[in-house]
């Protein structure tokens, strides 16, 4: 399938692709000589060069955002929600074009590209309802004629550092909630996917202008690691939400923590599905294969380990190998294909290195990997999803490789399986396939999965926006999207009102003059 990407860009309002930043409707260029080349992993072609912002550009954006916050926080939350509602409507209109650009620039399948934009629409809908809530509590005071309650106030500037694998959805998760909470946002997208970010800014720009939103409420800054470091160390940015590798998250968390700021970290995963002796094996195959090869293994929720009961091991593995033999690898914009490319050749090198390390530790590959070549794979970024039998304590198994490498581990008892599932540094997503109620409940109990997400009879990937998304341990501990994740974007204030004609003190303290 051939896509006229220039026509897609034009449809998204991108006539000139060289801004270094945007503060809403103000698109700025820079004197910096740095540029980012957006190159599609689909066909290896360069899409465009985009300027990289300099430090003075970053400071201009922050100063503009600071001024905007002083006005935006005064706008009633339901009115802020109305702006987000209109943004959701604009996304509906542009879903096909933006989803296509996501697929072409990042390499995920077209259906996954459309699904990512749908996540943006869904979080806008969620945020609209939230804008009429933002509840605080009322407490009973121990002092007579006193009222106590708590309320939530916006933080100010929310810095958002996003990753290439979900180039637009994670920004929307953060931004929609931050906006209705009364914050302003500065987005630094991945250097590998700048065009999808520019497209989002063009979509929201019309909504901002129509609603006379102050310049600086919605900001975009194209930058490299230096911009991320500036944001992490900047006391003017009270909250930094960062999505990416554990290594990156540790650096962000340390920098933000050193200034006693707040960080919301969504980092690596090393996710496992337990295949019980009581599992529906046919249904389990679907969950396992999609979880392992969806987005070419480049999701933080990708299934990286299958922990399979010894009594069904041979039967299940035979089904798994057969399913892998049916996978179609190729252009992700062709909806007949299941698996697209890795993001770039560095990712390919990491994939190959992990295979060699696995073999060196004793891993036995039952479905071999490798790089695909030929007329359909000219970018050099297409690889074969592969499967290896391993032990859980292999160093490479303990490590997250962002590629379609699936590890198989055999178990005897459920306690052993849960210990294997938990026996990695990461703690994002987990699942068990079982029709046994006792097994399901044990997996979900306090002595079960130690992950932020624990599923029964569905895979590890494909979270809905209604639930809080995030994980424990080296996944960072942050929560985004649904439930009460909005509280991360606000500060809590406890209020006490005395409506008596005396001033009694708490704890019965006497202080008479």
* Residue 114 DSSP symbol: H
State which residues of the chain have pLDDT below 50: none
With 0-12 / 13-18 / 19 or more C-beta atoms within 10 angstroms meaning exposed / middle / buried, residue 447 is exposed
Let me know: does 307 contact 420? Beta carbons within 8 Å: yes
* Residue 295 DSSP symbol: G
pLDDT score for 13: 86
pLDDT score for 432: 98
* Residue 15 DSSP symbol: S
pLDDT score for 513: 79
How far is 226 from 214, CA to CA, in rounded Å? 27
pLDDT score for 508: 87
Catalytic residue among 266, 400, 439, 474: 266
Residue ranges of domains in the chain = 5-267+476-493, 271-464
Active-site annotation holds for 464: no
Let me know: does 385 contact 327? Beta carbons within 8 Å: yes
Query: What does the angle CA 352 – CA 358 – CA 359 come to, to the nearest 5 degrees?
Result: 95
Let me know: does 237 contact 215? Beta carbons within 8 Å: no
- DSSP β-bridge partners for residue 495: 149
Query: What does the angle CA 365 – CA 296 – CA 159 come to, to the nearest 5 degrees?
Result: 130
Which element (helix H / strand E) includes 169? Answer: helix 169-180
pLDDT score for 33: 81
How far is 129 from 196, CA to CA, in rounded Å? 27
Residue 12 CB neighbour total at 10 angstroms: 20
Q: Which CATH superfamily does the domain covering 271-464 fall into? A: Aldehyde Dehydrogenase; Chain A, domain 2 (3.40.309.10)
pLDDT score for 15: 74
pLDDT score for 17: 66
Query: What does the angle CA 84 – CA 90 – CA 91 come to, to the nearest 5 degrees?
Result: 90
pLDDT score for 2: 61
Find the radius of gyration of the CA atoms of the chain.
24
Q: What CATH number has the domain spanning 5-267+476-493?
A: 3.40.605.10
How far is 398 from 421, CA to CA, in rounded Å? 11
Q: What tokens does 219 get?
A: 């900001």
Which pTM value belongs to this model?
0.96
Let me know: does 291 contact 267? Beta carbons within 8 Å: no
């Amino acid at each position: 399938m051939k896509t006229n990407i220039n026509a897609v860009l034009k449809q998204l309002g991108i006539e000139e692709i060289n801004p270094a930043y945007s503060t809403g409707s103000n698109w700025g260029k820079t004197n910096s000589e740095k540029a980012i080349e957006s190159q599609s992993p689909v066909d290896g072609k360069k899409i465009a060069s985009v300027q990289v912002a300099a430090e003075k550009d970053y400071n201009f954006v922050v100063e503009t955002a600071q001024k905007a916050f002083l006005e935006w926080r005064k706008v009633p939350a339901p009115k802020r929600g109305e702006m987000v509602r209109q943004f959701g409507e604009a996304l509906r209109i542009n879903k096909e074009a933006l989803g296509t650009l996501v697929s072409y620039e990042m390499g995920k399948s077209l259906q996954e590209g459309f699904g990512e934009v749908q996540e943006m629409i869904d979080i806008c809908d969620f945020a609209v309802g939230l804008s009429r809530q933002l509840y605080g509590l009322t407490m009973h005071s121990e002092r007579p004629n006193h009222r106590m309650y708590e309320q939530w106030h916006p933080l100010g500037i929310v810095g958002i550092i996003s990753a290439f694998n979900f180039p637009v959805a994670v920004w929307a998760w953060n931004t929609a909630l931050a906006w209705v909470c009364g914050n302003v946002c500065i987005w630094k997208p991945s250097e590998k996917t700048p065009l999808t970010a520019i497209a989002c800014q063009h979509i929201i720009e019309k909504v901002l202008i129509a609603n006379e939103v102050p310049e600086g409420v919605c900001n975009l800054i194209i930058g490299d690691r230096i911009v991320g470091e500036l944001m992490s160390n900047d006391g003017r940015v009270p909250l930094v939400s960062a999505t990416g590798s554990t290594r990156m998250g540790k650096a962000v968390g340390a920098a933000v923590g050193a200034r006693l700021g707040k960080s919301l970290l969504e980092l690596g995963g090393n996710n496992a599905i337990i295949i019980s002796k009581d599992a529906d094996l046919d249904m389990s195959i679907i969950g396992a294969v999609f979880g392992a090869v969806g987005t070419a293994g480049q999701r933080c929720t990708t299934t990286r380990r299958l922990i399979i009961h010894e009594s069904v091991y041979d039967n299940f593995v035979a089904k798994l190998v057969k399913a892998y033999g049916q996978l179609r690898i190729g252009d992700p914009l062709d909806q007949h294909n299941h698996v697209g490319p890795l993001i770039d050749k560095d990712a390919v090198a990491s994939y190959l290195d992990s295979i060699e390390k696995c073999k060196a530790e004793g891993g036995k590959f039952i479905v071999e990997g490798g790089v695909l070549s030929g007329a359909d794979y000219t970018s050099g970024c297409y690889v074969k999803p592969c499967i290896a039998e391993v032990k859980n304590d292999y160093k490479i198994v303990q490590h997250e490789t962002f590629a379609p490498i699936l590890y198989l581990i055999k178990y005897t008892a459920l306690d052993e399986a849960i210990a294997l599932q938990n026996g990695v540094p990461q703690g994002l997503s987990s699942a068990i396939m079982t029709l046994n109620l006792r097994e399901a409940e044990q997996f979900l109990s306090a002595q079960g999965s130690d992950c932020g997400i624990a599923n029964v009879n569905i895979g590890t990937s494909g979270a809905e926006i209604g639930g809080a998304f995030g994980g424990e341990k080296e996944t960072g501990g942050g929560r985004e999207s649904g439930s009460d994740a909005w509280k991360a974007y606000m500060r809590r204030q406890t209020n006490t009102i005395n409506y008596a004609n005396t001033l009694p003190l708490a704890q019965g303290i006497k202080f008479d003059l």
